[in-house]
Structure 1
């Protein structure tokens, strides 16, 4: 489908008629996942999951734009709503994953095992995420026009933001792996003291989420690099498989393996047995 630009040239929106059922399915799935995470904030006292919830809201309304496009494929407003919300939404999901790792490390009293100190890692990764979000949002804003030239520049800006986000995530995965290895070889006092503490399960959850986000970003980078006539842009199923489905998996995994479960387990153990292996209060180093 296409619309007319300001100079009379044709600007392609979709190379197909967007699927209404697929749009509705992911709208409902993201809405349910978002509500679930909003509710879980309270029992787990996980206020740091608010960006995750906001990312879910963006995904939900983004797929409303997709549903709108299925009814009106030539609507430029529906196209803008979808891309303006869905493309940068994973940045907010990533920010929550960064903060979750820092809280897990602190809860385990394992700061010395971290490659980057939790306080610094949160600042570094979240600030970089904000930069990624701003760049992508700015580029998407430039695409909210019927000028093909401005859209082209906006796509390059979004591409740069996606590449930068991918590099930041590669650094984060390295930090996760190094902490995982160090705390496995030489467990922290809390890790030793609490029998059967499932902290490794939460590490593997982060790996799964990371793979989902990295694959999604690679496909989005390929989409913008290929341009309007690329295979990804012209194949709707690829966007649902390598974006919508992967981001829903991210939200679903963290609903089942929520970091708040681990944090709450350690807190309960510390209240029940306040002395660590050296006879020092386990909670002594906790904020």
Structure 2
């Protein structure tokens, strides 16, 4: 797999990599600040994903200077590929809290307490598969097996995320025909529908990003998408940065209230809705 540009099929652009590192880093630090200040601990996986993206493009900048380094190549690859699974985990947790917040568990196809358990478990499986496959793809002897494992992990992620999108859209449809749609007061800066619409947009972007990665990896290491760096920034870096930025403007704590709904219990009754602002 090594060539004139080391492990890469092209000459990596160091300037773009350090620029992406800076943008993701600023966003990650702001997310970390928001999470701590508002005690929104269910954003932890999202913050970790944002920090991983920052580290990934930092690794990519260093790796571009030493393109023969297998360790740096694997590090940048995994830290860029894996974060969407962490974003998704937070989206699942927000959905469960949102259903409880509007006191409408009957409108959700799956009970909100089970949504988090089911989809986060699927997300963890997808995360581990992609991590394992990504590590093997950098080795010529195991590249094909790694590609297949990576593709399977992406398909698992798409399956769970696609099913989640259907569940959340069905919830929205049911709520639109329910009196509770207009009876839930706005306790924070944003109405709960703004947060739900944000989740729809983020889910659609992540699904499109996953589809890009499926096509990219299915073409192999010499494929057209893989051999042109620009596509990674257009169809992966830009969409994932957009997701991070979107969540700056409509923050769950601005809907639920700072510190409220921080932990989802075993039943809806365990959540004290009086903690809302």
Could you tell me the TM-score, scaled by structure 1's length? 0.85
Which SS does the other structure have where 1:233 is aligned?
A: coil
User: Which residue of structure 1 lines up, in the alignment, with residue 134 of structure 2?
Assistant: 140
Which SS does the other structure have where 1:231 is aligned?
A: coil
User: Which residue of structure 2 lines up, in the alignment, with residue 99 of structure 1?
Assistant: 93
Post-superposition offset of 1:195 = 5.7
CA 20–192 in structure 1, closer or farther in 2 if over 3 Å, else same = same
Post-superposition offset of 1:61 = 0.8
In 2, Cα distance between the equivalents of 1:74 and 1:283? 55
In 2, Cα distance between the equivalents of 1:133 and 1:55? 11
User: Which residue of structure 2 lines up, in the alignment, with residue 120 of structure 1?
Assistant: 114
Alignment of 1:175-190 (within 5 A): 175-188=167-180
User: Which residue of structure 2 lines up, in the alignment, with residue 263 of structure 1?
Assistant: 256
Post-superposition offset of 1:149 = 2.7
User: Which residue of structure 2 lines up, in the alignment, with residue 130 of structure 1?
Assistant: 124
**Contact 2:186–2:192 (CA<8 Å) still a contact in 1?**
no
Post-superposition offset of 1:283 = 4.0
In 1, Cα distance between the equivalents of 2:50 and 2:116? 21
In 2, Cα distance between the equivalents of 1:161 and 1:195? 39
Which SS does the other structure have where 1:135 is aligned?
A: helix
Deviations 1:41-67 (A, max 9, x none): 133321010001111111111111210
Answering whether residue 153 of structure 2 is matched by residue 161 of structure 1, we say yes
Deviations 1:256-278 (A, max 9, x none): 1111111118x7xxxxxxxxxxx
Answering whether residue 222 of structure 2 is matched by residue 222 of structure 1, we say no
In 1, Cα distance between the equivalents of 2:186 and 2:246? 24
RMSD: 2.5
Aligned residues: 263
Runs ≥4 in structure 1, deviation > 3 angstroms? 282-286
Could you tell me the TM-score, scaled by structure 2's length? 0.88
In 1, Cα distance between the equivalents of 2:5 and 2:65? 19
**Contact 2:56–2:80 (CA<8 Å) still a contact in 1?**
yes
**Contact 1:12–1:228 (CA<8 Å) still a contact in 2?**
no
**Contact 1:49–1:96 (CA<8 Å) still a contact in 2?**
yes
User: Which residue of structure 2 lines up, in the alignment, with residue 17 of structure 1?
Assistant: 11
Alignment of 1:29-108 (within 5 A): 29-108=23-102
Post-superposition offset of 1:285 = 11
Structure number with bigger Rg: 1
In 2, Cα distance between the equivalents of 1:99 and 1:26? 27
User: Which residue of structure 1 lines up, in the alignment, with residue 165 of structure 2?
Assistant: 173
User: Which residue of structure 2 lines up, in the alignment, with residue 274 of structure 1?
Assistant: none
**Contact 1:23–1:64 (CA<8 Å) still a contact in 2?**
yes
**Contact 1:30–1:59 (CA<8 Å) still a contact in 2?**
yes
User: Which residue of structure 1 lines up, in the alignment, with residue 267 of structure 2?
Assistant: none
